Amino acid sequence: MPGCHEVAKAELHLHLEGSVTPATMQELAPGASTEEIRERFRFSNFAGFLECFKWVVERLRGPEDYALVTRRLLETLSSQNVRYAEITLSAGVVLWKKQEFEPIYDALQREVARSPVDVKWNLDAIRHFGAEHAMQVAELAAGYVDDGVVSFGIGGDEERGPAGWFTDVYRFARAKGLCLTAHAGETVGPESVWGALRLGAERIGHGIRAVDDPALMRHLRDEDIPLEICISSNVATGAVPSLAAHPVRRFYDAGVPIVLNTDDPGLFGTTLEKEYDLAAREFGFSEDELAQVAENGFRYAFARVKPERVEVKKDE
């Protein structure tokens, strides 16, 4: 829908590492053939997606590679009139790879300083690695609260990393001034969303299985808790059986706050513009409705920005 392409947009559920496209992957791993990269980027379920994500992040060797990925992502966002983005950095993966975090983060921030996109960071722990791992990421995030990091979250395998493990971690993160989010209700039922809410999550990553629980739907609506909806992602990972089965329209019609996002756009072959087009073409969202969804991206941002207040930085 061309009209919505011109609207200022914000993206709140976007993984830096998952933004790597096959073309950028060729730059990062010149020894890999085009066919190998194409095969690695081919998957049909969540387990296959995790394997692809793992293959990509293992080839991010240091600050220069992370800077390249950030630069390519910010160029794409800027071209789509995305004014503000909260980008998830898998800090848990950086620790898992035993890389030094500070030089990587400094490299990312140098790229942000050169971009017209206003960027804040969400540091993400791998939930199936356990609570001790998550606390290490939360402690890391707490050290950057005044340097671009606005939130802490958990991603990964919901079934192997139940929310109840992370009560103390989330309590610590909140006390340190971090906003809270969590992937939930993506591959596990509504009980996973309830668990994230008990942790204090202020936004829910995906949350699509909330549609199976009317009480949860009412709670999300009445408490004004937004879902970070990622349509193409849910189809690609098999979280929904088909595009037509995606509940995005049901959420909107029920008054549950939603924000459209790409999740891992390089891995899923999508862009934010494509997600808006999907919402219009497949789910009947009008231009006015999508303008409201775009506004939600600013309304529910942890930095509490508004589109008219976003200052577009000049390229240096």
Catalytic residues: 186
Q: Cα torsion at 307, 210, 124, 260 (round to 10°)?
A: -30
Q: State the Cα–Cα distance between residues 86 and 42, nearest whole angstrom.
A: 27
| Burial label, 208 (beta-carbon count in 10 A; 0-12, 13-18, 19+) | buried
Please list, in sequence order, all residues whose beta carbon lies within 8 angstroms of the beta carbon of residue 125, skipping any fewer than 6 positions away: 91, 92, 133, 134, 136, 137, 138, 152, 153, 154, 155, 169
Q: State the Cα–Cα distance between residues 65 and 71, nearest whole angstrom.
A: 10
Q: Cα torsion at 250, 251, 255, 261 (round to 10°)?
A: -140
| 241 CB-side CA count, 13 A | 1
Q: State the Cα–Cα distance between residues 232 and 72, nearest whole angstrom.
A: 20
